[in-house]
């Protein structure tokens, strides 16, 4: 009788944005004394590395704001008067800012031990001492009921690390290639010229697709990797994924979702035949919008006639400056290509901060909290290691991705423990219970554009420049001219999707 991954025919990965594990799931099992139903590997009694009131704290500069401890729920700090946009403004996520958050200083000595002491210090510099304490606030399970219910109903890891203490593009590089090609920041969105898992699957005759929920812009994955620019038909919008999921169980393979699907949320606010807010969880986007999209993805898979053949992995690329109390492990294998950062100051020998990761599948036991059984933790390259083992992509005569990070990564095989005869059939119907409103267009439009959003627009400009990178000077011009959400919408409007950066809306200010 097939067990676990032997029953899987389709792997689906949804990668969200910039939230730490504590920020969304730190209080998941607080009502049970941080003792979940079960652990993998087994542990007696079961444990969950969550938060405890008054135990995990940061100290601000001098006496103000003083010592602030991790707490829940989030409260109404921002100008929106809305607890569901915390933290606002956007925390820092550059490599040096993350280093400060993890060590308490941006320049730790080589002998320093990570103590997660610098989140408040770093956020005071961006938000000021009055509202900076919100960085220590985390969402309660009641506030984010969708991701919380999924974590309790299936399997969640409390030790899944971002692949490196880096920004979005580098960590998404790891999930697609096993490397960031030496990048530690978004680096003005210069496209990566390295092989991806999609290139490998294409060469080996395995089907794949990337599905994005945006109207104006292409897929972020498509923008990021030059070697995917010759595969435009593999990149489609999310409604196509939803339609393919509804195909009958006995439909031909080309009428179902492919062997491997990668899903992207809407990263930008858009005004395409109505108002569409960003749904990626990126601070300070309203997490209610993100919860609604997450529920839509889950219910699309839940209602599929062949859901028992699907493994859905929900994860986040990096912590985005949000507080977490567990120090990232060291001893990470150097990736290939790019074992050393392009600035020569980081050897990719430590992982990034924990991020939420949930496995939704008929072959995982509900209420499972899982970790690696060895010295190497789960990280984004575990997805690549799982795909490799699942489809034997390093078999005779086959070429796989070269990164040692993938070779050393634990796979998801040990988590899918159930067989077809005792599978989990109680997939709950889940809908978001929080309300998006009040959110007012004029407030959203005046918000600063975040670095990820700007990187996407620079990628759009590159693609419309006949695929030739626009260069750092012109990227800097975009940084100067596109400052707000309104500026971004002006740039994205159909009549303004231009090849030339110099043709940016003339009313934007330098």
pLDDT at 47: 97
| pLDDT tens column, 410-444 | 999 999 999 999 999 999 999 999 877 655 566 77
Say if residue 495's pLDDT is above 60.
no
Give the residue among 225, 220, 188 at the shortest CA–CA distance from 475: 188
| pLDDT tens column, 185-213 | 998 778 999 999 999 999 999 999 999 99
| pLDDT tens column, 15-56 | 999 999 999 999 999 999 999 999 999 999 999 999 999 999
Question: Residue 465 — pLDDT band, cuts 50, 70, 90?
Answer: confident
pLDDT at 147: 98
Question: Residue 273 — pLDDT band, cuts 50, 70, 90?
Answer: low
Q: How far apart are CA 94 and CA 233, in angstroms?
A: 33
pLDDT at 272: 67
Domain ranges of the chain: 4-49+140-415, 441-503
Q: In this structure, are residues 38 and 337 in contact, taking their beta carbons and an 8 Å threshold? A: no
Q: What is the DSSP string of 450-477?
A: PHHHHHHHHHHHHHTTTT----HHHHHH
Question: What percentage of the chain reaches a pLDDT higher than 70?
Answer: 93
Question: Residue 77 — pLDDT band, cuts 50, 70, 90?
Answer: low
Say if residue 507's pLDDT is above 80.
no
Question: Residue 497 — pLDDT band, cuts 50, 70, 90?
Answer: very low
pTM: 0.95
Q: In this structure, are residues 268 and 217 in contact, taking their beta carbons and an 8 Å threshold? A: yes
Q: What is the DSSP string of 59-90?
A: E-STTSS-EEE-BSS----STT--GGG-S-SP
Q: How far apart are CA 144 and CA 432, in angstroms?
A: 8
| pLDDT tens column, 388-411 | 999 999 988 899 999 999 999 999
Mapped onto helix, strand or coil, the DSSP state of residue 208 is strand
Q: What is the mean pLDDT of the chain?
A: 91
Long-range Cβ contacts of 172-176 (<8 Å, 24+ apart): 172/15, 172/220, 172/221, 172/224, 172/317, 173/224, 174/335, 174/379, 174/380, 174/381, 174/405, 175/13, 175/15, 175/315, 175/317, 175/380, 175/381, 175/383, 175/384, 176/221, 176/224, 176/225, 176/262
Q: In this structure, are residues 401 and 335 in contact, taking their beta carbons and an 8 Å threshold? A: no
Q: How far apart are CA 362 and CA 312, in angstroms?
A: 10
Say if residue 216's pLDDT is above 90.
no
pLDDT at 80: 59
Question: What percentage of the chain reaches a pLDDT higher than 90?
Answer: 76
Say if residue 499's pLDDT is above 60.
no
User: And the tokens for 227?
Assistant: 């070697």
Q: What is the 3-state secondary structure (H, E, C) of 2-67?
A: CEHHHHCCEEEEEEECCCCHHHHHCCCCHHHCCCCCEEECCCCCCCCCCCCCCCCEEECCCCCCCE
User: Which range scores top for mean pLDDT: 77-81, 376-380, 418-422?
Assistant: 376-380
Q: How far apart are CA 71 and CA 22, in angstroms?
A: 10
Give me the residue label for tokens 């998404």. Answer: 172
pLDDT at 2: 62
Give the residue among 91, 58, 57 at the shortest CA–CA distance from 77: 91
pLDDT at 439: 59
Say if residue 90's pLDDT is above 80.
yes
CATH superfamily of 4-49+140-415: Alkaline Phosphatase, subunit A (3.40.720.10)
User: And the tokens for 467?
Assistant: 């695929």
Q: In this structure, are residues 8 and 260 in contact, taking their beta carbons and an 8 Å threshold? A: no
Q: In this structure, are residues 167 and 437 in contact, taking their beta carbons and an 8 Å threshold? A: no
């Amino acid at each position: 009788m097939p067990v676990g991954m032997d029953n899987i025919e389709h792997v689906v990965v949804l990668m969200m944005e910039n939230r730490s594990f504590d920020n969304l799931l730190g209080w998941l099992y607080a009502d049970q004394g941080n003792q979940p139903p079960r652990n993998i590997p087994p542990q007696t009694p079961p444990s969950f590395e969550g938060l405890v009131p008054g135990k995990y704290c940061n100290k601000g500069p001098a006496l103000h704001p003083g010592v602030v401890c991790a707490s829940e729920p989030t409260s109404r700090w921002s100008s929106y008067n809305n607890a569901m946009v915390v933290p606002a403004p956007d925390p820092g996520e550059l490599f040096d800012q993350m280093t400060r958050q993890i060590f308490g200083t941006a320049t730790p000595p080589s002998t320093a031990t990570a103590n997660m002491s610098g989140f408040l210090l770093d956020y005071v510099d961006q938000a000021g001492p009055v509202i900076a304490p919100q960085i220590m606030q985390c969402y309660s399970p009641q506030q984010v009921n969708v991701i919380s219910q999924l974590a309790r109903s299936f399997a969640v890891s409390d030790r899944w690390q971002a692949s490196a203490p880096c920004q979005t593009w580098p960590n998404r590089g790891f999930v697609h290639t096993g490397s960031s090609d030496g990048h530690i920041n978004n680096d003005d969105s210069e496209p990566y010229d390295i092989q991806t898992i999609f290139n490998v699957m294409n060469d080996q005759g395995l089907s794949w697709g990337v599905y994005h929920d945006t109207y104006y812009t292409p897929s972020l994955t498509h923008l990021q990797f030059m070697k995917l620019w010759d595969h435009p038909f593999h990149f489609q919008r999310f409604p196509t994924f939803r339609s393919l999921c509804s195909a009958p169980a006995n439909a031909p393979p080309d009428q179902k979702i492919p062997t491997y699907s990668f899903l992207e949320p809407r990263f930008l606010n858009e005004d395409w035949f109505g108002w569409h807010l960003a749904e990626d969880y990126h601070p300070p986007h309203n997490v209610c919008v993100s919860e609604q999209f997450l529920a839509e993805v889950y219910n699309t898979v839940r209602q599929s006639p062949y859901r028992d053949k699907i493994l859905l992995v929900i994860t986040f690329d990096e912590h985005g400056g949000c507080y977490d109390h567990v120090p990232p492990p060291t001893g990470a294998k150097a990736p290939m290509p790019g074992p050393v950062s392009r600035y020569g100051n980081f050897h990719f020998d430590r992982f990034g901060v924990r991020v939420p990761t949930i496995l939704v599948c008929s072959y995982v036991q509900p209420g499972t909290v899982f970790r690696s059984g060895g010295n190497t933790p789960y990280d984004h390259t575990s997805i690549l290691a799982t795909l490799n083992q699942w489809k034997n992509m390093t078999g005779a005569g086959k070429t796989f991705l070269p990164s040692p990070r993938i070779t050393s990564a634990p796979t998801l095989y040990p988590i899918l423990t159930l067989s077809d005869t005792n599978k989990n059939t109680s997939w709950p119907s889940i809908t978001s219970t929080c309300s998006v409103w009040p959110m007012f267009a004029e407030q959203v439009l005046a918000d600063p554009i975040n670095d990820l959003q700007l990187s996407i627009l620079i990628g759009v400009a590159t693609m419309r420049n006949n695929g030739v990178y626009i260069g750092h000077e012109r990227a800097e011009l975009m940084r100067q001219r596109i400052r707000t959400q309104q500026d971004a919408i002006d740039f994205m409007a159909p009549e303004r999707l231009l090849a030339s950066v110099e043709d940016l809306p003339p009313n934007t200010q330098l």
